[in-house]
Amino acid sequence: MIKIGFLINPIAGMGGKVALKGTDGKEIIAEAIRRGATPIAEKKATEFFQGIVNSSFGKQVEFLIPKGVMAENVIRDNPKFIKKLNFQIIEHISIPKTTTSMDTKRVVEEFLNKDVALIIFVGGDGTAQDVHSKVNNECPILGIPSGVKIHSSVFARSVQKSIDLIKKFAQGQTEFREAEIIDLDEVSFRKGILNTRLYGTCTVPHEPTLMQLTKTHIKITNSEENNIQGITDYLKEEISSKVLYILGSGSTIKKISNAFSKDVQKDKTLLGIDAVLNGKLIHRDMTESDILSLLQEYSNNQVNLILTPIGGQGFILGRGNQQISPEVIEKIGIKSILIIATRSKIDSLPNKVLHVDTGNFELDSKLMGYQKVLVDYNEYWTLKID
């Protein structure tokens, strides 16, 4: 029997759909709730445990879990989990309804005292930082992505990939490597400024097809600028005044937004989701609710969604753009998604593969396959989405 510590950061990812770029700090959490944000980490944990009980290896694993909202509630709310999961609750550590980083750290200390073979956490970069502060390479860790940013490389690519990793781990087929934990200043991030630093490294299961890599920033060179200009020039010729364009986040999309007009490029948010119609920016930094309302208002217009992958990681959905939810994608339509990227950004991706993690397994399956990516003036590359 392999003992695994498992915890949830209940607030992780709540700021995504409501365009808050994260949930660090009590004031931001309160604002997320005011905007209608709902917890998503418990849903991720439920999907994970569902995969474990449905697996052929689930009986080989015992989970050590904290009380209440940090894991126990997910199991208690599902009779199937109570019956089929091997789990032990840490009874002597009291968990408040509203948790903080100190609760994460206390639970991790107890995991280490109980000599767990692996620590799994549901959260984002901030949770990874809290776990690392106590683990200090004493025990391997694995993140199930539930945060907004998720720049670090200690995370599985999705819930399903984390289940696949645990299968390999339980069967003794896993090697290990050092992975980076990247922390991002959320205050600067909300202002459109990327201010990141390397917080540290942790040992993680090594499986390139299942783990995500650290986000990288592409160095701007003359050839890169020419490449972006080629994409921009091509879009200028293709843009229709009757189409509603939803522009994703990222520096690449901000640069090519000049194709609509200089005013659009000036006002386009770097890290938000914005809408353009007839050469004008009609909505900035939209929440999921804003996008759905806009789609309803312009239901008679064709809608195009323009996305770009994250450098070094390859995610086009599910990292930093949770406002573009499964509900939004279903309304826009998969065929109305345009992916753009410079050649150097594509070259930065392992095997030139793109990824999606929308939180909806059926939608992810529909998105997977091969997709054309605009990489220069009227030049498309066909890339795989995994």
Domain ranges of the chain: 2-206, 222-385
Across-strand partners of 370? 384
Indicate the CATH number of 2-206 among 3.40.190, 3.30.70, 1.10.8, 3.40.50: 3.40.50
E strands present in 36-126:
61-65, 87-89, 118-123
Position 325 confidence tier, pLDDT thresholds 50, 70, 90 = very high
- Model confidence at 135, pLDDT cuts 50, 70, 90, reads very high
Nearest to 354 by CA among 365, 342, 370: 370
Half-sphere exposure of 183 (CA within 13 A, CB side): 16
pLDDT value for 148: 77
Which of 23-27, 57-61, 357-361, 373-377 is least confident? Answer: 23-27
- Which residues 6+ apart lie within 8 Å of 209 measured at CB? 386
- Mean of all residue pLDDT scores within the chain: 90
More confident position, 23 or 359: 359
User: What is the reported pLDDT for 19?
Assistant: 66
pLDDT tens profile 218-277 = 556 678 889 999 999 999 999 999 999 999 999 999 999 999 999 999 999 998 999 999
Q: How confident is the model at residue 38 (pLDDT cuts 50, 70, 90)?
A: confident
- Tokens 């091509």: give the residue: 234
Please tell me whether residue 239 adopts helix, strand or coil conformation. coil
- Please give the average per-residue pLDDT across 115-139, as a whole number: 94
pTM: 0.81
CB 380 within 8 A of CB 374: yes
